[in-house]
Structure 1
Amino acid sequence: MLTTGSEILNVANENGFAVPAFNISSFSMLNAVFEICEEKRSPHIVAIHPDELRHIGVDMLPAIIQKANRSSVPTAIHLDHGATYEQVLLAIQAGFTSVMIDRSRDAWEVNVLETRRVVEAAHAVGLSVEGELGTIGKTDGFAEDGTDDIVYTNPEDATRFIEETGVDSLAVAIGTRHGLYPRELRPELRLDLLKDIKARVGIPLVLHGGSNNPDEEVGIAARTGINKINISSDIKAVYFRRMREVLQDRDLREPNMIEPSCQEALRECAGQKIDLFGSAGKAALY
Structure 2
Amino acid sequence: MKENRLQRLLDQAEQHNSALVAVNVSNVETIKAALHAAESTQTALILQVAPLQLDFQGIDYDEFVELVSVLARRHNVDYALHLDHAEEVEHCLRAIDAGFDSVMFDGSKQSYDQNLQGTKAVCYAAHRKQVLVEAELGRVLGNEAGSDEPSLDDVYTDPQLAKAFVEETQVDLLAVAIGNAHGFHVGPPKLDFERLNQIRLSISRPIVLHGGTGIPVDDIRQSIALGVRKINYFTELDSTFMNAIKQEAKENPSALMIQSFAKAQRALSDDIIAKMTYCSSAILGKATTPLASTSSNAYQPHVTASAQTEEVIA
Structure 1 and Structure 2 fold alike (TM over 0.5): yes
Task: Report whether the alignment pairs 1:135 with 2:136.
Answer: no
Corresponding residue for residue 235 of structure 2 = 233
1:195 to 194, 197, 206: 197
Give the distance between the partners of 2:70 and 2:150, measured in 1 at CA. Answer: 39
Corresponding residue for residue 302 of structure 2 = none
Does the C-alpha gap of structure 1 residues 134 and 238 become closer, same or farther in structure 2, counting only changes over 3 Å?
same
Task: Report whether the alignment pairs 1:13 with 2:14.
Answer: yes
- Give CA-to-partner distance per residue, 1:164-188, whole Å, 9 cap, x none: 0011110011111101123xx2211
Letter in 1 for 2:79: T
Is the Cα contact below 8 Å between 1:119 and 1:165 reproduced in 2? Answer: yes
Is the Cα contact below 8 Å between 1:137 and 1:148 reproduced in 2? Answer: no
Greater gyration radius: 2
Letter in 1 for 2:278: L
3-state SS of 1:103 partner: coil
Does the C-alpha gap of structure 1 residues 64 and 20 become closer, same or farther in structure 2, counting only changes over 3 Å?
same
Alignment of 1:140-179 (within 5 A): 150=152, 151-179=155-183
- Segments of structure 2 that go 5 or more residues without pairing to the other structure are 283-314
Corresponding residue for residue 47 of structure 1 = 48
Is the Cα contact below 8 Å between 1:135 and 1:152 reproduced in 2? Answer: yes
Give the distance between the partners of 1:176 and 1:170, measured in 2 at CA. Answer: 14
Corresponding residue for residue 312 of structure 2 = none
2:216 to 214, 217, 222: 214
Is the Cα contact below 8 Å between 2:244 and 2:260 reproduced in 1? Answer: no
Letter in 1 for 2:36: E
Q: Identical aligned pairs, as a percentage? A: 30
Does the C-alpha gap of structure 1 residues 149 and 94 become closer, same or farther in structure 2, counting only changes over 3 Å?
farther
Does the C-alpha gap of structure 1 residues 149 and 72 become closer, same or farther in structure 2, counting only changes over 3 Å?
farther
Alignment of 1:70-85 (within 5 A): 71-85=75-89
Is the Cα contact below 8 Å between 1:62 and 1:95 reproduced in 2? Answer: no
Q: How big is the shift at 1:7?
A: 2.3
Letter in 2 for 1:50: P
Q: How big is the shift at 1:149?
A: 5.3
TM-score (norm: length of structure 1): 0.89
3-state SS of 1:131 partner: strand
2:254 to 235, 251, 255: 251
Give the distance between the partners of 1:47 and 1:176, measured in 2 at CA. Answer: 19
> Which stretch shows the higher mean deviation, 245-254 or 198-207?
245-254
